[in-house]
Amino acid sequence: MQPQFRPLTPADLDAMVMLEQSAHAHPWSPALLADAFGERYFTGALWHQNALLGYFIADRVLDESTLMNICVAPAHQGRGLGRQLLENYFAQCRTLGLGWLWLEVRASNRAALSLYASAGFEESGRRRNYYPTADGHEDAVLMQKRL
């Protein structure tokens, strides 16, 4: 059985928190994840049976969207789920009439940078020393795409 897409709901918060904590060295807090259910946000998630495999959180303002978070379960990384989530994000953006897409990513996250570049995102700037690391800080790479 193939994974299925559906939006996240507040009832999925516990599964989101568990996935976020397992996949990121500096995960979003439960409170920050809970905020993703506000009016200006939209989400997509891949599920296999009752297991959350990955999700994205995005916001929208006027005709723009920022991909705020994308997360894939560590056991399922490298299998194209991140690309599927990104394609679902693009489809939702088209439906919503959003033209400009934005994101930021850790400069050290080569896999994500490669994925985003292959999907048409281009670097538009950097935020110096933005993300915390175990031994200091690293840059955020700002990327944009015209849909």
Query: What pTM did the predictor assign?
Result: 0.92
Supply the residues annotated as catalytic: 104, 116
pLDDT at 96: 95
pLDDT digit of tens for each residue in the chain (147 aa)? 688 998 899 999 999 999 999 998 889 999 999 999 988 999 999 999 889 999 999 999 999 999 999 999 999 999 999 999 999 999 999 999 999 999 999 999 999 999 999 999 999 999 999 998 888 999 999 999 999
- Residues 67 and 144: their CA atoms lie apart, in Å, by 10
- The CATH number covering residue 25 comes to 3.40.630.30
For the chain, how many structural domains are there in total? 1
- Identify the bridge partners of residue 69 per DSSP, sorted by sequence position: 57
- Write out the residue range of the structural domain in which residue 19 sits: 4-146
pLDDT at 1: 66
Cα 67–89–9 angle (5° rounding)?
85
For 9-27, the pLDDT digits (tens) are: 999 999 999 999 999 888 9
pLDDT at 132: 87
- Identify the bridge partners of residue 138 per DSSP, sorted by sequence position: 131
Q: Characterize the bridge pairing of strands 100-106 and 136-146.
A: antiparallel
